[in-house]
Structure 1
Amino acid sequence: MAALELAKKRLRHFATEEAAGISPLYELLAGHAAEDDEVAALLTAAPDQFAHGTLFFTAAQRLVQAEPWIELANYYLTMGGSFGPDDRVWPLFRSFVLERAGKMTELIATRTTQTNEVRRATTLFPALADVAKQVKGPIGLLEVGCSGGLLLGIDRYGFRYQNEDGEQVNAGPAKTPLVLTCAVSGAPMPRLPKKLVVGAKIGLDRRPIDLADEEELAWLEAGIWADQPERSRRLRVAAELQRKDPPALVAGDAVDDLAAAAANVPADLPLVVITSHVMPYLPDERRKAFIEALGSLAAQRPLWWVTQDHYRGAMAYLAPERTEFVQTLDSSWGLLAVVQWAAGAPSARFLGRTGAHGQTLVWL
């Protein structure tokens, strides 16, 4: 597929499958961008595996952040704007990105989507609690593709799960400035602990983000959809919590540097590797190599892999027969699973379907 056609396809999918019903502003803008060759061409500056609508709109919002006085900023609720999408916003947006085409393509070519959506911790927490229950003690976390490492603060967040009948399950510490909510459905939720004991927190990323650096934090904020200001608030609160309990973030490759990063987790701690909406960004051969690298580590120490990724990006390699989970790689929901190795063989348990931003959990 030609680069322009791929960019248009990705923007169209972003409009119809990811933003639809969730972000009216991005649904409108992405829909127009997908039919506009000049605008869509900006996304071709990214390698194919990174050329997604999320990167395109992150780059655009980062430039709007730099010029908060412009009329377009009125539509960015994350920046204090108050306008809803109307017939003026697309012409404003189109002119803005094309007039700054050089800056747009530079960001798109040199940065990657590094949204660090802290709310995804709500859907990870039950899986990690399940592992902690098995080991009956502290666990060591290694998040691959950690971005700024906010998911590694999972032991410091409160959680509130509510089903369609209004029944709630609360978890995590009672006294915390950040309580994350999640709508649950499907099978009844298991009992969840008030405390998750984490003995080590390590993050591995090709380009870790230092949240103490305001420029880097601004890039993360730019990745939040422009009409979802509540996500910005959660990011800021989580970043402040992290300053009090910072994880160790390591720059490196998900496969080649996995063992070295894991060595930072003390050997007496059960190692729990986390991936959350990361695997689809790896080419097919690197996904296979990553799973093989996990198997090599599991031969040396107790290891669990908690994955919240698309089926074809992760679990299809370990459970190809589970065709009920087949989806396109750029679908928005994830599949929550826990993998453990025994006698060199991986065994996967499927726990639930998760919303892209941790807002929903269909418990299996």
Structure 2
Amino acid sequence: MDLAQQRLRVFAREASGISPLYEHLASRAAEDPEVADLLTAAGEERATGELLLAAAHRLVQAEPFHRLSNYYPSLGGTYGADENTWPLFRDFLLERSERVRALVATQVVQANEVRRAALLYPAVAAAAKQAGGPIGLVEAATTAGLLLGLDQYSYRYQTAEAGQVVAGPAKAALGLHCALELAPGAVLPKLPKTVKVAAKAGIGVAPADLADEDAYAWLEACVWADQPERLRLFGVASGVLRKNPPRLVAGDPVADLAKAADPIDVPLVVVTSGSGLDLVPALSALDRDSWWAAHEEREVRLIRVRDGEVSSTTLATTEAHGQRLVWQ
């Protein structure tokens, strides 16, 4: 119990200043032993405050006319957190305690932040330029493969020096916006209109099938409920990928990287975002010229593995979800 309450307190701090609704709910859940106890069904390793809030979001989705939905902008709610929010939320969860426990026992939080494609596009474009032709794109540690649509989205980078820098296909269904600042001494990157991708694959422990209604609903529930723009972008990106689904492989993104990469016979570019992985040994084992566009620890790096040699360049620092790049 103490661990569940501690995890909820940690999540409340993470949500502070970002999600008023989730900060409000998580901070109160941390002080409520009955509600916090629902999280113990997840087990020690997976028990996070975010998981409990995702489970609640999923259940509110299933009952969109419940009064609690008035506080969920993702469901059209317009109320801010007030004195009624917590009592409604508490009663809602405890009345459905078995369903909450079933969700937290079987699901994991799956982040699908398509805005991060705007952070990775310059790195992938640089890799494609070095490769000198079409590339094969692999997303390691994928869930739904949204970053594999990177070449199909359009980008608008707002700069102080040159106004808006536009990249990607002009008639893309999904447009992403990102602030682009220059570090002292840096110059604006030259971004191509297109990156030619000849093959795509994703690898993750449990890739999600966007065509599966239950899986899709859970991915929606993992988006914080008071961030409807993130939910909209997720929906549009999912629609793009459904038209031409990439090959997704279940496996360890490091140990089994070859399962995703080997069928690709063009220069290989692997992308990750917030994975915490070290792919250099796995890329070296492939014994081929390859690039890793890594958005990790709020940096974008381009790592090249060639003939046993590894080179790494830090291209930018970032905000966590894709709102801002500071070009180095």
Equivalent positions of 1:295-334 (< 5 A) are 295-297=284-286, 300-310=287-297, 334=298
Does residue 12 in structure 1 map to residue 9 in structure 2?
yes
Amino acid at match of 2:193: K
1:169 correspondence with 2:154: no
Give the Å deviation of 1:344.
2.3
- Equivalent position to 1:274, from 271, 287, 292: 271
Q: Deviations over 1:11-56 (max 9, x none)?
A: 3233223x22221111211222233333233333335453333322
Corresponding position: 1:33 with 2:29:
yes
Matched residues in 1 for 2:110 and 2:88: separation? 26
Measure, in 1, the Cα distance between the counterparts of 2:112 and 2:304: 26
Letter of the 1:348 counterpart: S
Q: Secondary structure at the match of 1:73?
A: helix
Runs (4+) off by over 6 Å: none
For the residue of structure 2 that corresponds to 1:50, the secondary structure is coil
Q: Which residue among 304, 313, 324 is the counterpart of 1:349? A: 313
Which residue of structure 2 lines up, in the alignment, with residue 66 of structure 1?
A: 62
Please tell me whether the aligned partners of residues 280 and 305 of structure 2 are also in contact (alpha carbons under 8 angstroms).
no
- Shift of the 22–195 alpha-carbon distance from structure 1 to 2, 3 Å rule, reads same
Report the secondary structure of 2:235's partner residue: helix
Paired with 1:241 and 1:350, the residues of 2 have a C-alpha distance of 30
Counterparts of 1:10-159 in structure 2 under 5 Å? 10-17=7-14, 19-159=15-155
SS in 2 for 1:21: coil
Work out whether 1:229 is the aligned partner of 2:234.
Answer: no
Deviations 1:242-277 (A, max 9, x none): 1222211112222332212211222xx111111112
2:315 counterpart SS class: strand
Report the Cα offset of residue 215 of structure 1.
Answer: 1.8
- Could you tell me which runs of 5 or more consecutive residues in structure 1 were left unpaired when the two chains were aligned: 280-286, 311-333
Deviation at 1:154, TM superposition (A): 0.7
- Classify 1:196/1:50 alpha carbon distance in 2 versus 1 (closer, same or farther; 3 Å): farther
Distance 1:8 1:184 in 2: 39
Instruction: Give the TM-score of the pair, scaled to structure 1.
Output: 0.83
Inter-partner Cα distance in structure 2 for 1:184 and 1:139: 25
CA distance in 2, matches of 1:144, 1:41: 34
1:122 to partner: Cα distance: 0.7
- 8 Å CA contact retained: 1:172, 1:194: yes
Distance 1:355 1:242 in 2: 25
Alignment of 1:230-309 (within 5 A): 230-266=229-265, 269-279=266-276, 287=277, 290-297=279-286, 300-309=287-296
In structure 2, the CA distance between the partners of 1:183 and 1:44, relative to structure 1 (3 Å rule), is farther
Residue 303 (structure 2) aligns with: 339
The CA distance in 1 between the partners of 2:317 and 2:100, in whole Å, is 34
The one-letter amino acid paired with 1:108 is V
Q: Which residue of 2 aligns with 1:211?
A: 210
Any conservation in 1 of the 2:289–2:307 contact (CA below 8 Å)?
no
Residue 64 of structure 2 aligns to a residue whose secondary structure is coil
Q: Is residue 114–residue 220 contact of structure 1 (8 Å, CA) maintained in 2?
A: yes
- One-letter amino acid matched to 1:349: T
Letter in 1 for 2:269: V
Note if contact 1:202-1:264 (Cα within 8 Å) is conserved in structure 2.
Answer: no
Secondary structure of the residue that 1:176 maps to in structure 2?
coil
Q: Distance in 2 between matches of 1:124 and 1:68?
A: 36
Task: State the 1:82 CA deviation.
Answer: 1.5
Q: Distance in 2 between matches of 1:172 and 1:357?
A: 19
- Once the 2 structures are TM-superposed, how far is the Cα of residue 141 of structure 1 from its aligned partner? 1.0
Structure 1 residues 22 and 101, CA gap change in structure 2 (3 angstroms):
same
Deviation at 1:162, TM superposition (A): 1.2
1:160 to 156, 181, 193: 156
Contact 1:277-1:309 within 8 A present in 2 as well:
yes
Q: What is the rounded CA distance, in whole Å, between the counterparts of 1:166 and 1:342 in structure 2?
A: 35
Gaps of 5+ in 2: none
Q: Give the whole-Å Cα distance in 1 for the aligned partners of 2:120 and 2:167.
A: 12
Q: Matches of 2:313 and 2:113 in 1, distance apart?
A: 24
Alignment-mate amino acid for residue 250 of structure 2: A
CA distance in 1, matches of 2:302, 2:40: 36
Number of residues of Structure 1 aligned to a counterpart in Structure 2: 325
